[in-house]
């Protein structure tokens, strides 16, 4: 009996030493990675169509000139932008005529308002308080756009006021007719 | 008296976590002028937690260790199910609503019994904005089994 008791005690000792050797494994972890993407979205907003007509109206009495200028303020520029914290940290919006042409003797300009305050972040700044000629050459109209959003729709973002006027000293080159001009806006990294 | 039983070797507490999560906000803004309007949410069983406990009561705490994180974003976590037990023994408790992860360990759920397997976990990222700089932000979620 003494020998049997001794063996059982030895077995118990071995078992206890195994349990102590297996340390608890009580912590685990895993990674989470969230990707914030580059965002560069630009849209035109209007209460109706973004097409509009500017017309130099004929005089009603002989000897008077065409009625000018003609303006339209129906379009607003909305945008959402997320830039990186280094590298390309700001963007601009440029405009250019990509089809059609402005009738001879006239010029087409756009006046850009400051952002209307419907969004948040680093919204852009208009290039000039003065009207900017719209030509077939890409011309910046809003710069210094960072990470921001303007809000969507009319009365959000920047209002564009287009003006068709008679070029000083060019009245003799005016011809009657109708021209269609397409203006393209581009939001791009500077 | 565990040394008299074959269970002696199995009585080691442990916790395992499977799955990871790498969401992207690409394409969530579809219209110019808008900000992000929703949270990033994982599948309800994005991670599965299993545990073995040598004591009658246990709880699982979670914490967030930031690697390259931004204070713009908040990471939330919740349990979406009870998981299973091998012998049908034990309970699990803890509200299944979202808990904000921080650097301080917070109890996610608690229970009783010797094991609990495949407890489904869901994650959510809040605070996402177009004002958050373009980058990949990473953190580590730490699960710790506490027994008492």
State how far residue A71 is from chain B, nearest Cα, in angstroms: 25
Question: Which residue is associated with the tokens 């003065």?
Answer: A130
**pLDDT tens, residue by residue, A3-36:** 443 333 333 333 333 334 445 569 999 899 999 9
Nearest CA in chain A to B140: A31
Interface of A with B in 152-171 (CB under 8 A): 152-153, 156-157
Contact A147, A121 (CB under 8 A): yes
Ordered per-residue pLDDT tens for chain A, 190 residues:
444 433 333 333 333 333 344 455 699 998 999 999 999 999 999 999 999 999 999 999 999 999 889 999 999 999 999 999 888 889 999 999 999 999 999 999 999 999 999 999 999 999 999 999 999 999 999 999 999 999 999 999 999 999 999 999 999 999 999 999 999 999 999 7
Mutation site for B-interface testing, chosen from A14, A21, A34, A76 by largest number of B Cβ within 10 Å: A34
For chain B, report the end-to-end CA distance as a whole number of angstroms.
19
Whether B62 is in a domain gets the answer yes
Q: How many domains does chain B have?
A: 1
Tell me whether residues A79 and B33 touch, CB distance under 8 A.
Answer: yes
Q: In this structure, how many other beta carbons lie within 10 angstroms of the beta carbon of residue B110?
A: 16
Whole-number Å distance between alpha carbons of A172 and A176: 11
For chain A, the helix, strand and coil percentages under 3-state DSSP, each to the nearest 5: 10, 45, 45
Whether B8 is in a domain gets the answer no
β-bridge mates for residue A112, sequence order: A160
Instruction: Report the residue from A31, A34, A43 with minimal CB separation from B20.
Output: A31
ipTM score here? Answer: 0.87
CA atoms within 13 A on the CB side of A121: 27
* pLDDT value of residue B87: 82
Range of the domain at B78: 37-147
């Amino acid at each position: 009996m003494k020998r049997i008791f001794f063996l059982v005690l030895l077995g118990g000792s071995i078992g206890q030493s195994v349990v102590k050797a297996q340390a608890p494994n009580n912590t685990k972890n895993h990674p989470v990675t969230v990707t914030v993407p580059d965002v560069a979205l630009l849209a035109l907003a209007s209460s109706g169509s973004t097409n509009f007509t500017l017309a130099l109206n004929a005089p009603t009495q002989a000897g008077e000139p065409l009625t000018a200028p003609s303006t339209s303020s129906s379009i607003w520029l909305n945008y959402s932008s997320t830039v990186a914290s280094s590298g390309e940290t700001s963007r601009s919006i440029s405009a250019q005529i990509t089809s059609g042409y402005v009738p001879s003797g006239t010029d087409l300009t756009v006046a850009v308002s400051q952002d209307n305050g419907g969004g948040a972040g680093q919204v852009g700044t208009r290039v000039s308080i003065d009207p900017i000629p719209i030509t077939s050459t890409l011309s910046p109209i809003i710069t210094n756009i960072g990470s921001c959003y303007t809000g969507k729709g009319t009365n959000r973002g920047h209002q564009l006021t287009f003006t068709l006027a008679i070029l000083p000293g060019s009245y003799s080159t005016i011809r009657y007719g109708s021209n269609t001009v397409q203006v393209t806006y581009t939001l791009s990294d500077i | 008296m565990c040394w008299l039983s074959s269970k002696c070797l199995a009585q080691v507490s442990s916790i395992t976590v499977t799955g990871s999560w790498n969401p992207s906000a690409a394409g969530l803004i579809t219209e110019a002028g808008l900000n992000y309007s929703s949270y990033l949410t994982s599948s309800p069983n994005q991670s599965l937690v299993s545990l073995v406990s040598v004591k009658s009561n246990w709880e699982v705490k979670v914490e967030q260790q930031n690697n390259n994180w931004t204070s713009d974003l908040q990471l939330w976590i919740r349990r979406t199910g009870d998981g299973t037990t091998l012998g049908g023994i034990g309970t699990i408790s803890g509200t299944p609503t979202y808990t904000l992860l921080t650097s301080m360990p917070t109890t996610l759920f608690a229970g009783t019994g010797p094991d609990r397997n495949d407890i489904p976990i869901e994650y959510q990222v809040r605070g996402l904005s177009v004002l958050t700089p373009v980058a990949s932000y990473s953190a580590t979620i730490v699960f710790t089994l506490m027994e008492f």
